[in-house]
Amino acid sequence: MFRRITERGVKLMVILGVLSTFLAFLCTILCSKAFYELLIKWRSERKLTKLKKQIDDIHYSFEELIYFVSLPNQNPDICNVNIDKFHAKPVYRSFIFPVNEGLMVSVNHHKENINIAFMALDSFRIPFLEKLHHQYKLNEKEYEDMRSYVLIHPRTRKSFIEEVYRQIRRDDRILLLDDPVDWI
């Protein structure tokens, strides 16, 4: 009888062990991006505090933004869409151990997601951070974390959406001259 009880107990413990391992693995997969973002936010804000800077003091460049559509764009599915239909989402390389690759700006039109532009993290230029990195005040890991944090920050996402929206809707006709020029 005692042997029968211990066999049941062992089976139950094995089942509970497998279930807890499965739940831990599932939690890791579902929460890994959130933990990654929380970690780089914590590290970056701590470093910015030491440097006596705030995220709003950091300026960046839109120069290396890659567009997947022509500019300005005449496609009504893109150019006539309101700015609140544009979204900027981080792109991650791995699901379990995420690494930020960049920021994708897309538009949601008639339940279809159209990718408009992409800013790769490797091409994302932040002069302040590059200066600190060059002066060896930031190591490689801090530099990468802070660039990633600035790129996924809500303020940065909003400014990328505004820049993409402005570029799509820009009017290049103002560049044309009204009077013909004689080039003789």
pLDDT number for residue 66: 94
User: What does pLDDT average to over the chain?
Assistant: 84
Judged against a pLDDT cut of 70, whether residue 27 lies above it is answered with no
User: Could you tell me if residue 107 is inside a domain?
Assistant: yes
CA 111 to chain centre: 22
Domain region containing 155: 38-172
Nearest-CA neighbor of 40 among 155, 152, 146? 146
User: Does residue 41 carry a pLDDT above 70?
Assistant: yes
Say whether pTM exceeds 0.85: no
Predicted local distance difference test score (pLDDT) of residue 99: 86
Kindly state whether residue 156 falls inside one of the protein's structural domains.
Answer: yes
Which of 138, 134, 154 lies closest to 146 in space, CA to CA? 138
For the record, the structure tokens of 41 come out as 């936010």
Residue 136 lies in a domain: yes
Q: Is residue 137 part of a domain?
A: yes
Q: What is the mean pLDDT of residues 1-20?
A: 72
Lowest mean pLDDT among 80-89, 90-99, 103-112: 90-99
Confidence of residue 76 (pLDDT cuts 50, 70, 90): confident
Q: What pLDDT does 42 receive?
A: 94
Between CA 29 and CA 48 the distance in angstroms is: 29
What is the number of structural domains in the chain?
1
Tell me if 162 is assigned to some domain. yes
Task: Report yes or no on 47 lying in a domain.
Answer: yes
